[in-house]
Each structure stands twice: as structure tokens, then as C-alpha cells.
Structure 1
Amino acid sequence: MTSTSSRPAIAVTGLRKSFGDHVVLDGIDLNVPAGTVFSLLGANGAGKTTTVKILSTLSRADAGEARVAGYDVAREPDAVRASIGVTGQFSAVDKLFTGEENLRLMADLHQLGRAEGRRRIARLLDQFGLTDAARKPSSAYSGGMMRRLDLAMTLMGSPEVIFLDEPTTGLDPRSRRDMWQIVRDLVADGVTIFLTTQYLDEADELADRIAVLDGGRVVAEGTAEELKRRIPGGHVRLKFAGPEGVDAALGVLGQASRDNDALSLRVPSDGSLRSLKTLIDRLDERAIEVDELSVHTPDLDDVFLALTDEKVTVR
């Protein structure tokens, strides 16, 4: 995924927020390129939702500066609101209305003309697979359909930046994957997605960059692979045709764990291309043949638990 603009979609410097004596955000910095997915991870109460509320003008920071779509959140809130969409943890759908009526309400709120409103409603119903259910009460929709309608309502204003706060909570696996594809399609069209989630596989699947929030601070930021390489436990597994190969490789590599039954070695590695090339070159210099090579790195669960203070169970 590539940025559609040199200007960052979101730029945050020294953002602070407290509730009484409780510090929620303690001077966080964020930079989100346009046309990407940025995921903010953290335990419950870490400050993810507070961050979204500040960036979407629903709450004011105590200190720091934040710009969204080029506009200052504190000084230009109306311009920010005109440039963003927000899909929260809880659906904004009115269950007494049909899907079409919910979208028509959003069209009226955005002051779209009747013809433009009808055109955009039809396009969104088709885009989100809701055309057949458009005139059914949304109370009859499944969880996945409800979340799709909620996001379609957010898109009625053609936002540059969308804040997705726990967008797939409670959805079944198929509905989650449908939502992931919708996110990918939006980013392909140049929309920027700011994603908060406790589903670490979701961040791993979607995010171009990830920040981990703990104790009111960003304790790590990078791509999923960069974060995984920071955590001990990564290794390369080498499998050989016979014990002679294991012996020869162990003599060359030194630091490795041997598994005689599997005729394999486990060699510590950060999983980077450079370390892998060094390993292969050392084996190649001694003409040691390897039947199978696989790289194993910690997953985002390992990263999360290693970087956060609270030892929480992460879904």
C-alpha cells in the first residue's frame, strides 16, 4: 500500500490527556501517511478510544498538537469533521429504519441533493452487498450486515480518513474477513484507515504500521514484521537428510539447538534478510546441503505481551 500524498493524513505531537489524577495519554507522537492502514494496539483502558475521540474532535486534549487531513483538531474542528468518518465499537444504525432509510438520513445530514443522494445510496448498497436487504428493517440484519451498513453510512460523506474503533468485535470469522476486504478496497481508493483493535491477527493482516500503546505512551512502532523481530525467540529451522548433515552444520554454526529425531537444527535468528543470507552463505561455503529451511518469528501476541506492562489475555 502506498501513500497518496506527501502530507501525512494524521500528525500527532506530544498529545496528553488526563481524567482527574489518571493520566491516559502521556505525550504520544503519531504520524500516519495518507492512503495507509495504521493500527493502534493496547490493552483495555490503554487510551485507544481516547485517542480516537481527540482526533475526531469528540474530546479535547490537555496538551499537544494534532492535525487530521491537514487541519488542526483544536482550531479547525469543523474542517476535520468534514474530512473524516468514524465507525465506533457500537453501531450507529437506527434499527427502526431500513438500510436504505439509514443511508438516506446520512445523505440528508451531509446536505446532498436528492439525485446525488440516490446515486450515492445505490452505489453504497451495491458496494457493501446490501442491495437485496435495502428495504428490510435493519433490526433483521445479521451482525456482519449491521457493521457493513454502519461503515456504508460513514462513507456517505466521502471521508479522507476513517477511524475504525474495534470494527469487527462480535463478528463471525466470515464476516470479519468480509470487513477486512472492505478495508483493503477503501485503502486502494486512497482512504486512510486509523484502526484500533484487540484482535492482533486483524492488525497483522491489515496494518501498514502498528503502534503499541501502554501506560499512556507509545512503547513501540513499526511494521508487523519489524515489531516481531524485536522480540526474542525468532529462529531458523534447518532440516537435513541424515545425521552427518546435522553434525557438519552444527560445527559451522555453533549456536544451535539440535533435534536428533527430526534431523534438524534450530538456529537463533531475527528473521531479517541479512541474517538469513549470512546463515546460507556459511553453509554454502562448506557445501553443506539442507533439505528444508523455514523461518519462525514471534507473532503479535508475543510482541504485545512483551511490550505491555499488564499481562492480559489478548484475543
Structure 2
Amino acid sequence: MAFFPLYPRLVGALEPLTPLGARATALAVAAVAALAAAWGLFAVGERLYDRRVGILLAVLWGVLPHSIVQNMSYSEGIFTAFAAWSLYALLRRSWLLAAVLSLCAGLTRPTGSALLAVVCLAALIAALRRRDGWRPWAALVIAPAGWVGYLAWVGRQTGRPDGWFHIQDAGWGTTFDFGADTVRVAQRVLAQPTALTMYVVTLVVLIALALFVLSALDRQPWQLLLYSGLILLTTLGAAGYYHAKARFLLPAFPLLLPVAVALARAGWARAVTVLTPLLIVSAYFGGYVLIIWNRSP
């Protein structure tokens, strides 16, 4: 019950319909979801800026150090797809589509709380300003239904209202300490020799924080900025699983917009020059994660 149900249930529903078997079906769903996510990133970048920014935003997401998990049976890809298209719909004030996709995201990962908070706040503002009729009110009801509904179901199954959080604490040692554990582990990583993965995670965390500041300075739409900020807060504020925090940050794609815009303005030649070594490093690290690293990415 620690794992949200949409991705495994989708794999379970599709597996009997294909000759692939459960494992290959899970990989196929993850691959298709990653393509849908990249398309969603392109759509957001194109809407906010232009086609070139959209392409570069999708490519940057694809060359992140932990992008190898898009080829593994993890839910980051399908969650990013739901989040990207929900935020795109939100920017277009397509309230019902944004809310339904938020519901799906809330059934996919616990960080669905970040997306539903953005959709609900945007819908509340529109409703109070009497924009778009009944649709923002409907979005307020639909958007949180997946996340809240699953936590309520786990609470009923466990016989306690905080059942899911209890499972996270008792079974996985994961609690929310506002980042104290993250800071302690980062200090330890920087003070003594450790595995390559831990250095990469620390670097990704520091860069993500810097990109959030740049996103704010660039006056990114508040919906994207709030979403990224909440993903950062829920990821870095939770204790435990430091080695997986870079993977947990994969859905925070708006953080890449300042880089995508800068590369787009620099021209294709300079963009390719920058992206090529990033691609090589990402491929090397992906191989390291698959072959050498013996824990979850």
C-alpha cells in the first residue's frame, strides 16, 4: 500500500491483452508514458515560448542523469506525463482536463499532492473571480479525488486515518523533517568518499535549488513555479532514501525552462555543443546505475 495504484493496475489490466508478460508490459507502459511526458514538456515549452524551447525542454529532460528510469518499471514517467499535460491544460484554462489528469497523477505517486494543490488553487482563484462558469468549481472537486481517495482507502484498510503515512514511517523509515536529514546526508557525502550515485544526487539537488531561483527570477508562470516548489519541498523535506532524490525530482520539469530558454537563444549549434556532453554523461551514468549501483536508482 506504500505504492500508489494507477501504474501497477494499468500494467495488470494490459498484461492479459498482450503476449509480452507482466515485466515486459510494465516496461512498455513506462516507455510509452515517457514519450507522452516528452510530448507534454514540448507542448508546455512551445506554449510559453516557442517550438525551439519546447524541443529543448523535452531533450533536457531526456538527458538528466537519472533519465534511465524511463526505461525501467518506475512511475516517474507516467506521473510526469500526467503533470505536464495537466499544467498545459491549466495554462489554457481547460479546467476539466486539468482536473482529471490531476486525479490520475494523484493515483500514481504521492507527489500528486503538489499538482492537485496547483490545480485547486488556480480553480479557486478563477471561481472566486467568476471566470469560466461552473468548470473551476468542478475542478476543485475532481482534482484532489485520486490522491485523497487513495489515502482514505489505505486509512480504512489499516484502521487508522494516517495509515499511509504510518506505513511510510514503519515500513520504509520515511518521515517529513523539513529537510534536516537531507542536509545531514549531503554534508556527509561532501565530507568523505562515497559512491558516484551519492555525488550525482547531491549535485542534482544543488542545481535544482539554483534553477528554482532562476525560474522565479524569470517570472515563470506561478502555476509552474508553485508546482516545482512543492515537488522540491516534498522531496527534499522527506527523510530517508537520499540516493533516490534525484529520481524523485524528475517530474519537476519546469526547473529546466531557464536552461531551455538560454539554449534556444544561443542557437542550435551552441545548444548541440552543450547537449552532446550531457548526453554522454547521462548515458554513462545510466550504465553505472544499471550495472554497478546495487540499490534503487
Q: Where on the TM-score scale, by shorter chain, does this alignment land: which range?
A: under 0.3
Larger Rg: 1
TM (normalized to structure 2)? 0.25
Higher strand share: 1
